A = this chain, B = another copy of it.
Amino acid sequence: MATIKVPEISSMATIKVPEISSMATIKVPATVPSPAEDCDQLRKAFQGWGTNERLIISILAHRTAAQRRAIRATYAETYGEELLKSLEDEISGDFERAVLLWTLDPADRDAQLANEALRGWNPSNRVLIEIACTRNSGELFDVRRAYHLRYKRSLEEDVAKHTTGDFRKLLVPLVSSYRYEGIVVSGKLVKSEAKMLHEKITEKAYNHEELIRIFTTRSKAQLIATINHYKNEYGKPINKDLKSDPKNEFLAALRAIIRCTFCPERYLEKVIRLAIKGLGTDENSLTRIITTRAEVDLKAIETAYYKRNSVSLKQAIKGDTSGDYKAMLTALLGHDDA
């Protein structure tokens, strides 16, 4: 019979606690107070006449996801109330949203963001793509697990419920897939699938089953190799060819998948740029990117932002926001001089 090989399955027995990324912007003090001490300070911030918002920021914006989780657990145990509930009672507006989103576990935060995006879904909403394609496979699965806990149904069920037509054909597999994370790339597939993509795009068969399959199931390394080959072989970047009709939201969704896969920090830079640009700020998008990336790759996004706009992200945010909200975002950027 065929050989049965034993892979290192023992890695399934543990969940890695993510260490802080070198691309993270948050600053964690060298000596972190115990969760009990942090809770005590937070409680003080809530008490008395008025809330001490800056004290809240000085604690929560300087703790990792694991530390915030410990604070939430200790707080609930000590005061018999959820920390998020207390925060909700004490603060408001954009500042509240930023603090609450930040305080959540990343997977649970993404589950909430995905659900919000779905409840108000329209074809120009690309939050689901952002979540599905800028998180790694394990993180996306954690989001699906958190979604079960929070909403008592699956993410893919809700995607199918709230989306229609080609978007549904694209987004259901996109959130369901568990892409291989390794760097092994099949050169044969690169060629055959670049050819297939080129054919379908030339025929304007953008919703073709094969195109959707390639976009939604291939590993990031494989997909990147395929779109590189596409450019070499057919002379134009795939995203140029996917821009035949700039008003077509489905094409925009396909381009977003490619951009999130190929260069997430540049994609996310653009989301921030558009959120800040012009009159009025899209606080929802700004808050989402800062809170979801501050512990991941916000430094790289800052670099991309400076390159593209010749102004630092910190300056741009300071110019466009105010008060405690401004202080919270700049703290997450690693600055405390708001």
Contacts and interface: CB of A to CB of B under 8 A. Distances in A.
Interface of A: 1-15, 69, 72-73, 82, 84, 88, 96-97, 100-101, 104-105, 107-108, 112, 116, 141-142, 144-146, 148-150, 152-157, 160, 169, 172-173, 176-182, 184, 209, 213, 217-219
Contact of A142 (B12, B101, B148): B12
State the copy count for this chain. Answer: 2
Contact of A144 (B107, B172, B178): B178
A56 to B, nearest CB: 15
Given A157-B217, A157-B218, A9 B177 contact: no
B11 A150 contact: no
Per DSSP, chain A at the interface is: helix
B4 A88 contact: yes
Nearest to A1: B97
Given A8-B149, A108-B7, A154-B177, A160 B82 contact: no
Contacts of A149: 7-9, 11
A1 B112 CA distance: 13
Given A153-B180, A154-B219, A6 B108 contact: yes
A217 B156 contact: yes
A247 to B, nearest CB: 26
B7 A150 contact: yes
